Amino acid sequence: MTEKRAWIHVIPESEAEGELANYYKQEWDEEKQGVDNILAVHSLNPPTLRAHADLYHSVMHAKSPLSRSEREMIAVVVSVINKCQY
């Protein structure tokens, strides 16, 4: 399967500097050997990358009556309904 990349111009990890490079380091995915595309599309405006990542971490990792598995299941169902491969 060919990896799909965003049509939005992104700054690759290898070219990131300053604040963006720091955010990329924080969001590096060892399994994927890179930063998720959903975050990289924010590379031209690093504060939005940080806000998106903060929201994700709050929704998926903060204290909640829902288990992590339940949260992941909700995300998968919503993605399927929206025909989103993410």
Average pLDDT, the chain: 88
pLDDT tens, residue by residue, 4-15: 655 888 999 999
Provide the whole-model pTM: 0.72
Predicted local confidence at residue 33, as pLDDT: 80
Q: Let me know if residue 5 belongs to a domain.
A: no
Sign of CA dihedral 57, 63, 65, 68: positive
- Which has the closest alpha carbon to 11: 43, 48, 35? 43
Q: Let me know if residue 8 belongs to a domain.
A: no
pLDDT at position 3 over 70: no
Q: Let me know if residue 3 belongs to a domain.
A: no
| Higher pLDDT among residues 53 and 86, named by residue | 53
Question: Average pLDDT, stretch 57-80?
Answer: 94
Domain around 42: 13-81
Q: Let me know if residue 86 belongs to a domain.
A: no
Q: Let me know if residue 4 belongs to a domain.
A: no
Q: How many domains does the chain have?
A: 1
Q: Let me know if residue 1 belongs to a domain.
A: no
